[in-house]
Amino acid sequence: MNSPKKSIDEKQLNSDYQWLVMQGLSKYSGQWIAVHDKEVIARDNSLKAVLKKVTKLQLKTIPLYLRVPEGSVTT
């Protein structure tokens, strides 16, 4: 069974990115995160694990994925 194709909402991705850069990301240091609707919806040290968590959420659009660099992260 094929899953429905998810769309890319560039406006949403840009909005999530703008929100993300204003957040304190130190608690996610060294982790992969997924952001959707201005919320971190999944986080893990492994991108594969984040993708698996996001797949279970059955979102209609693709979230923003980002690996937060290790060390001091400030806004």
Distance CA 75, CA 59 (A): 28
Residue 5, Cβ density class (10 Å: 0-12 exposed, 13-18 middle, ≥19 buried) = exposed
pTM attached to this predicted model: 0.83
pLDDT tens-digit profile, the chain (75 residues) = 455 567 889 999 999 999 998 988 899 999 999 999 999 999 999 999 999 999 999 999 999 999 999 976 555
Which residue carries 């560039």 as its tokens? Answer: 10
What pLDDT is recorded for position 7?
84
Domain map (residue ranges) of the chain: 10-67
Alpha-helical segments (H) within the chain? 10-20, 47-57
